[in-house]
Amino acid sequence: MSDSSGVSILIVDDTLENRELLAKTLDREGVAVSACASAEYAREMLNIELFSLILLDISMPGGMSGIEFLKEIKGNPKLADIPVVMVSASGDKDNVIHCLELGAKDFIIKPFDLPLLKRRIDRYISEASNARQGRHITSTRKFNILIVDDNELNRDILQRRLDKFGFLTKVAAGGDAAIECINKYSINLVLLDIMMPEKDGVTTLLEIRQDHRHKNLPIIMLTALSDKEKVHECITSGADDYIIKPFETKVLKARIDACLTEKSNFV
């Protein structure tokens, strides 16, 4: 993680094993961690300290649910600006979308991919800091996104969605074409499919990262796989995040906005 001095995270999860795993992981990164098993106790802790970020379990039987507590946090002017990342064992799409609509920044699926977890925590703490300093993205239209997918229908659907969001777009049908495009044009973010013939997404990712000019280029992997080992390989190889196909539009927009906010120059 980046400089963690002054960073404090509140973990709200009814499972002791999850709390201990997250706390130990973040503690090793130098983060000040507090953890509790219920929303009711978390409410008391938030009356004492304004945390840098909250990791909040969606399902906590026996008391207030994570979704109910998220509503309470976002409805409180003193707490509303604290980034909240939801933690889910199922990745239920309806719950995920509902949480994003209520103001959650993102979600993490259990069991945790620790490099991905740390990357998302870094991202949202940085975003909150930029917001406090008045730095934010003023327009999507200056951002050029490259879509890399060997399936023409996938490229077409993604391009239409990104056009609707207001982004500029370019497309490539394979890894070699993607690298050529990145070297030729000013690309601000890449959506890169993992499974492609000839040169797959992981190989393409590694080649992009080998060029020092592109070491900070945001890259989000697209996958139809539920293969956690492949996702982990992508994250440790330099990808910023991933999206599972078929994608949810709100998740796609949230991930793109978050990566651009983290790595772009603000105006």
**Residue 100: which pLDDT band, with cuts at 50, 70 and 90?**
very high
**What's the pLDDT score for residue 234?**
93
**What's the pLDDT score for residue 267?**
34
How far is the C-alpha of 100 from the C-alpha of 110, rounded, in Å? 18
What digits encode the pLDDT tens for the residues 39-93? Answer: 999 999 999 998 999 999 998 878 899 999 999 999 999 999 999 999 988 767 7
What does residue 171 show for φ and ψ, rounded to 5 degrees? -130, 150
Please, which residues have CB within 8 angstroms of residue 184's CB and are 6 or more apart in sequence?
Answer: none
How far is the C-alpha of 231 from the C-alpha of 131, rounded, in Å? 30
Please, which residues have CB within 8 angstroms of residue 34's CB and are 6 or more apart in sequence?
Answer: 8, 9, 10, 11, 45, 49, 51
What does residue 37 show for φ and ψ, rounded to 5 degrees? -100, 0
For residue 133, pLDDT beyond 50: yes
What is the set of domains in the chain, with CATH numbers? 8-132 (3.40.50.2300), 140-263 (3.40.50.2300)
Q: 134: how many CB neighbours lie within 10 A of its CB?
A: 7
Both tokens of 57, joined, read 């379990």
User: pTM of this prediction?
Assistant: 0.72
Sign of CA dihedral 33, 133, 81, 247: negative
